[in-house]
Amino acid sequence: MKPICPMPWSAFFVKSAGELHPCCTIKEPPGVKYTLQDDGIEAYQSSDFLKELKDTLLSGKMHETMCRDCIDQEDNYIKSFRQHEIDQLEKDFPNYTINDGYVKAQFIFDNTCNLKCIMCDSLYSSKWRQEYKDIYGIDNKPNKTDNKFIREFFEKNFKSLRHIQISGGESFMGPLGLENDFLDIVLNQGINENIDLYIETNGTVYPTQEIISKLLQFKSVKFNMSMDGISKRSEYIRYPSTWQEYESSIKKLKSLVDNYNKFNLGIMHTLSIFNIYYLKEFLDYAKTITDKTHIHMVETPAHFSPLAMPYELRQLVGNKLLKDKNLECMRWGKFLKECNSNNEWEKFLLFKDKHDLYRGTNFAKTFPELEELINGFQ
């Protein structure tokens, strides 16, 4: 029988600190957590929550709570993670059945990073550690997944794998830095020519020639560059990078991609309170770089999600997006106007001020249009 979503069968996600998940958007029941190092793959695969999820998907429905993000997005005509992944699976593995095994694996090996983007945290960026500790009182130590687990995973699943995604931290500092042998593990397994590699990068670190030579041995490589704004808005969000740095990295990555047919470039845009108002301007800019821009919305910290905006502000920003006459803007504008608030607005006001003070940044000067809207209804 074919489930409404294949992810728990076809995909294997290792998130920060070795956490295991069937997809990157799932909301597991409170308290449910499986890690590669403490529980192992088999305990995760035979877990009650995964069984419940699979049973629901096999019955032709998405799970009411665990699949909430996909349900909400599809209800609002936004292409959900489920729909993206089904399209991808059809390309990677035509005629896939749930007995065929894992086709996609996404690994976050460690959180080494040179940036502390405002909507990230110290689980995903080592650069965040001190600020997160000072502002939120939580000390997330640097984390790294032992390659022996990755080796074991490949030994068991190499036959069905077609697609590997590497996320960070910054991929070219951690797993694709010179001290890590991740690429050698895949090359030694001899499956590289079957594999489309997706590499998420913050765009500020360029791969070494040695890494480029290894990447060229894969079927294809897509560099997905995270970009969350242009000019001073990018500098505020993707702190402490400079826009000049970004523009020069884009040029370098673009020319690398232009030189090799196997390489291509995409943009990942994470919507937060800081940038959703400026979506049209960003998409116009992104079009000058690539036609492959993927938009998704920040989930945590919830106080920086667009869902934290109070009703009146969501209507104002939503109306602006609807007027922008761009399909993506119109979809997100509609979503914003109709979604439920996550009730985190007070925390947004508090923490944006705290971060501004800590970093020496200035929300009001960087996002004057948004500041005006906020002042208008408060």
Residues in 211-230 that interact with ligand SF4 by CB under 6 A: none
Q: Which residues make Cβ contacts (< 8 Å) with residue 288, sequence separation at least 6?
A: none
Strand order in the sheet with 196-201: 20-21, 11-14, 104-108, 163-167, 196-201, 220-226, 263-271, 293-297
Among 82, 269, 280, 352, binds ligand SF4 (CB under 6 A): 82
Question: H or E element: which one contains 375?
Answer: helix 368-377
Among 14, 23, 191, 195, binds ligand SF4 (CB under 6 A): 23
Among 10, 20, 22, 176, binds ligand SF4 (CB under 6 A): 22
CA distance 270 to 267: 10
Q: Taking CB under 6 A as the rule, does residue 70 contact ligand SF4?
A: yes
Instruction: Determine the interface stretch with ligand SF4 among 23-31, 200-208, 252-260, 352-360 (rule: CB under 6 A).
Output: 23-31
Beta carbon nearer to ligand SF4, 34 or 182: 34
353 by DSSP, 3-state: which? helix
Among 67, 205, 297, 308, binds ligand SF4 (CB under 6 A): 67
Among 25, 126, 160, 201, binds ligand SF4 (CB under 6 A): 25
Beta carbon nearer to ligand SF4, 61 or 359: 61
Q: Which residues make Cβ contacts (< 8 Å) with residue 141, sequence separation at least 6?
A: 129
Encoding tokens for residue 84?
A: 């993206």
14 by DSSP, 3-state: which? strand
Beta carbon nearer to ligand SF4, 163 or 233: 163
Q: Which residue has the tokens 């761009």?
A: 326
Q: Taking CB under 6 A as the rule, does residue 50 contact ligand SF4?
A: no
Q: Taking CB under 6 A as the rule, does residue 81 contact ligand SF4?
A: yes
- Backbone angles phi and psi of 87, in degrees to 5: -60, -45
Beta carbon nearer to ligand SF4, 8 or 18: 8
CA distance 353 to 228: 20
Encoding tokens for residue 261?
A: 């047919």
Among 14, 17, 50, 62, binds ligand SF4 (CB under 6 A): 62
For the CB of residue 63, give the shortest distance to ligand SF4 in the complex, in Å: 6
Among 14, 17, 20, 26, binds ligand SF4 (CB under 6 A): 26
Q: Taking CB under 6 A as the rule, does residue 103 contact ligand SF4?
A: no
Q: Taking CB under 6 A as the rule, does residue 56 contact ligand SF4?
A: no
The answer to whether 107 and 165 have CB atoms below 8 angstroms apart is: yes
Q: Which residue has the tokens 């290792």?
A: 14
> What one-letter code names the amino acid at 179?
E
For the CB of residue 144, give the shortest distance to ligand SF4 in the complex, in Å: 26
What Rg do the C-alpha atoms of the chain give, in angstroms? 21
For the CB of residue 23, give the shortest distance to ligand SF4 in the complex, in Å: 3
Residues in 161-200 that interact with ligand SF4 by CB under 6 A: none
The answer to whether 3 and 59 have CB atoms below 8 angstroms apart is: no
Closest CA to 332 of 314, 349, 309: 314
For the CB of residue 126, give the shortest distance to ligand SF4 in the complex, in Å: 28
Beta carbon nearer to ligand SF4, 22 or 177: 22
Instruction: Determine the interface stretch with ligand SF4 among 60-68, 245-253, 299-307, 317-325 (rule: CB under 6 A).
Output: 60-68
CA dihedral 206, 209, 211, 215 (to 10 degrees): 100
Residues that bind ligand SF4 (CB under 6 A): 5, 7-8, 22-23, 25-26, 62, 66-67, 70, 81-82, 85
